[in-house]
């Protein structure tokens, strides 16, 4: 488990705080694909206000789950079953989206899970963030063993995630392919997780993953949605 520091002055030492910008940047970078995924899930609710409220409640639940994951991370990472379960859950979301009937959709487009209330959407948002967090928490633990810094980095990360997801909620209505790009990103992350379980040698390097996700984002933002009547 984490090394516990006895005094606040030790936790806030210069060496400890020097890691905070690194962890914060790591959280923000690893949250980009997470943000578009969570924003896409909120589309299961009608109305931007409901979507934003569901995102707020979902991320509040997600924050609690992240803290729990951080506290037990050194135990969790010993069991590959958790990563497989997270990957299969993400692939299930992707399957639900691309197998949806576009003929029954008002805009004749694929759609993710539908929700009647924010209390149905919030747990799905929280669980999706948890699945994505398996990667970011493992990376944070590799950078620092100080639980105070990791928790602070996670707090900054969840705030950044809320900000980015809020932007994506608006952009999903403005760009035709962005929702598809979001779910393809989810699939890419899930496959990456499964490959790591099967054989570390099969896992593509981080720079290649960033390029692939970047290309999906470029494609997602390439075409604007045509206004009604055009």
- Does a structural domain hold residue 128? yes
Q: Is the pLDDT of residue 82 over 80?
A: yes
Which of 79-93, 101-115, 140-154 is predicted with the least confidence, judged by mean pLDDT?
A: 101-115
Q: How many domains does the chain have?
A: 1
What distance lies between CA 147 and its chain's CA centroid? Answer: 21
DSSP-derived letter for residue 5 is P
- Does a structural domain hold residue 75? yes
- Does a structural domain hold residue 230? no
- Summarised one tens digit per residue, pLDDT across range 3-46 is 444 443 444 444 555 555 665 665 666 677 788 888 888 888 88
- Does a structural domain hold residue 166? yes
Cα distance between residue 182 and residue 33, in whole Å: 7
Provide, rounded to the nearest whole percent, the portion of the chain with pLDDT above 70.
75
- Summarised one tens digit per residue, pLDDT across range 125-143 is 999 988 888 876 766 666 5
Q: Is the pLDDT of residue 200 over 90?
A: no
The whole-model pTM stands at 0.76
Cα distance between residue 145 and residue 5, in whole Å: 11
- Does a structural domain hold residue 229? no
- Does a structural domain hold residue 10? no
Sign of the C-alpha dihedral computed for residues 197, 81, 153 and 140 taken in this order: negative
Cβ-Cβ contacts under 8 Å for 179 (sequence gap 6 or more): 40, 43, 109, 110, 172, 220
- Does a structural domain hold residue 5? no
Range of the domain at 23: 18-220
């Amino acid at each position: 488990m984490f090394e516990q520091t006895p005094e606040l002055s030790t936790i806030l030492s210069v060496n400890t705080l020097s890691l905070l910008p690194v962890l914060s940047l790591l959280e923000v970078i690893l949250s980009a694909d997470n943000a578009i995924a969570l924003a896409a899930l909120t589309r299961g609710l009608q109305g931007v206000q409901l979507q934003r409220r569901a995102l707020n409640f979902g991320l509040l639940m997600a924050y609690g789950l992240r803290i729990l994951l951080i506290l037990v991370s050194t135990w969790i990472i010993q069991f590959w079953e958790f990563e497989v379960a997270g990957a299969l859950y993400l692939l299930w979301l992707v399957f639900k989206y691309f197998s949806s009937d576009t003929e029954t959709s008002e805009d004749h487009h694929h759609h993710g899970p539908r929700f009647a209330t924010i209390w149905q959407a919030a747990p799905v948002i929280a669980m999706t963030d948890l699945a994505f967090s398996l990667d970011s928490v493992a990376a944070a633990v590799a950078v620092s063993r100080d639980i105070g810094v990791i928790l602070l980095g996670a707090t900054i990360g969840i705030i950044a995630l809320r900000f980015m997801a809020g932007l994506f909620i608006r952009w999903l209505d403005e760009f035709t392919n962005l929702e598809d790009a979001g779910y393809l990103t989810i699939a890419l992350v899930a496959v990456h997780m499964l490959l790591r379980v099967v054989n570390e040698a099969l896992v593509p390097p981080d720079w290649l993953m960033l390029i692939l996700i970047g290309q999906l984002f470029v494609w997602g933002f390439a075409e604007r949605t045509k206004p009604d009547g055009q």
